[in-house]
Every structure is written in C-alpha cells, then in structure tokens.
Amino acid sequence: MSSPVQMSEARRHQQLRAHLSYLKLNDAAEALNRVLDQSRTERMSLTAALERLLEIEVEATEARKRAARERFACLPEPWTLADFDSAAQPGVDEKLIRDLATLRFLDDASNVLFVGPPGVSKTTLSVALGRAAVDAGHRVYFTTAADLAAKCHKAALEGRWKTCMRFFAGPKLLIIDELGYLPLPEDGASALLQVINQRYLKSSTILTTNVGIADWAGAFGDATVAAAMLDRLLHRAAVADIDGPSYRLRSHRNQAEALRAGVNAHVS
C-alpha cells in the first residue's frame, strides 16, 4: 500500500500536469517527467528546474512561430546571404549588401530596389534578405509582380479589394519580384501603385526589376502612375543597380567547359 505522503506526491504530480495542460503549456507538460528526473539526478534547485521546464515551452513556442512565419512568407528558395557568391557577381555593391543584411532598413520603413538584367542575383538577394527578416522575427511575404496584379484583379472582381489591400499592407517586408518581366494587365500598374501607397512610410518593400528607373514610364504605359510609384518607392530607398554578368549563364558556361574538357580527355 502507498503511504499518504506518496499518494499526495502522486496527486500533486497529476495536478501539475493538469495545470500545465489547462494553460496550454503542452510541451512543458510532456517534458515534466524528464525535467523532474533530471532535477533529482543533478540535484537542481526548484528555481532551476522550473526555469528549465519553461525554457522547453518557450523554445517550442518560438519554433512554431518561426515555422508559421516561413509558411506565410512563401519564399521560393531556402537561400541565405551566405549562399550569395559576391566574387561571381562583381556588379553588386558589397558594402550596400552588408548594410542591408543588418535589416536596419526595416526600422525606418525604407525600400530596396534591385535593378538589372536577368540572372544577376536580384531574386537571390531579395530572398536572402527575406529569410534574414523571417529569422529576426519579422512578417515577410514574397510575390511576383504578375501574381500580385492577378490577386488584386481577382479581389476587385469579387468585392474583396479592401481585404486585399490590408493583406499586402500587413507584412513588415513585402518582396515584389520580376517587375517588368511580364506585361501587367490594364489595371496591374494601378493596383501595384495602390499596394505601394498602402505601405508608404509604414513598412518596407523590396522590388526587383529588369527595367531601368528612367524607363518605367514607357514600360508600364502610364507616365503618371510610374512617376507616383517611383516617388513613393524612392523617398526612402537603397537602389542597387547591378550591371554584372549573368550568374546562371556563367554557371552554364562553366558546366559546358567542364563537359568539353572531359570529352577531350576521354578522346585523347
């Protein structure tokens, strides 16, 4: 038969698990037995054991929040700034990239424009900065200019325009990729302007484009809309005009050269 003291301890243990579960501290409840065993083995103080139990819950909560931020961000690749090869892309201002990597531009709602031809790492850098912002606890969302315009157009047809604008205004960092690669629909440029206007001086936008700033009026077919867009984007902005070789074409050339060298060596 168990003694009254043992029964009391057993009840306390069950009540403690029940309290943790009631408070939705499920990871702490699951780890309770392990932490209690550890506290006895290592002769931990009550404070140390409690701190360890809550640390487990905090770490699990942070992991869930990070996973949720990553899902919401919709980043197309797992690129980080460590993946960027500055030696392969001499057209990038390394000092500017190091400054952007601090994420200070998010503090004053500044924007970033990556301008240059295809293949010069504009998307790589924008995704890497988005990943850094997610890691730092910020809400990030990635989209292409064409997808943004399509979502806005559909929202307008379905009577959800205000909801759509709130969605795009929400993230601390909005990344709009490939502006100028595909023609925008008739109302696309106007929708993009309204999204940028919603975010103006409130939160940051990274935009990648193959269209030089001086050519925006012609590219988007409306000089007034283009000027208004640039006015808001450039008010607080870092502009990286990348005029280097295509990273992808360079990779293809290297692979082709390696293949030719292998074939020649085999023939010899």
Q: For residue 50, what are the contacts with CB-CB under 8 A and spacing of at least 6?
A: none
> In the beta sheet, which residues pair with residue 204?
173
Backbone angles phi, psi at 257, to 5 degrees: -65, -40
Contact (Cβ atoms closer than 8 angstroms) between residue 195 and residue 152: yes
Which residue type is seen at 106? L
User: Is the pLDDT score of 253 beyond 80?
Assistant: no
70 CB-contact burial (10 Å; exposed 0-12 / middle 13-18 / buried 19+): middle
**Which of 72-81, 82-91, 121-130, 214-223 is predicted least confidently?**
82-91
3-state secondary structure of 267: helix
Residue 178 backbone dihedrals phi, psi, to 5 degrees = 65, 40
Tokens of 44: 């931990």
- 4 three-class SS: helix
d(CA 252, CA 98): 28
> Would you state the structure tokens that stand for residue 17, as one six-digit string?
């698990």
- List CB contacts of 250: < 8 A, sequence separation 6 or more: 88
d(CA 192, CA 220): 11
pLDDT category at 89 given cuts 50, 70, 90 is: confident
Share of the chain above pLDDT 70, in %: 88
What angle do helix axes 188-199 and 161-169 make, rounded to 10 degrees? 50
- Residue 258: pLDDT over 50: no
**Across residues 29-41, what is the average pLDDT?**
94
2-12 CB burial, b ≥16 within 10 A, e <16: eeeeeeeeeee
- What order do you get walking across the sheet with 173-179 strand by strand? 140-144, 173-179, 204-209, 111-115, 237-241
- The residue with greater pLDDT, 92 or 5, is 92
Predicted local confidence at residue 138, as pLDDT:
98
Structure-token match 């009026």, residue found: 217
- Euclidean distance between CA atoms 137 and 188, whole angstroms: 31
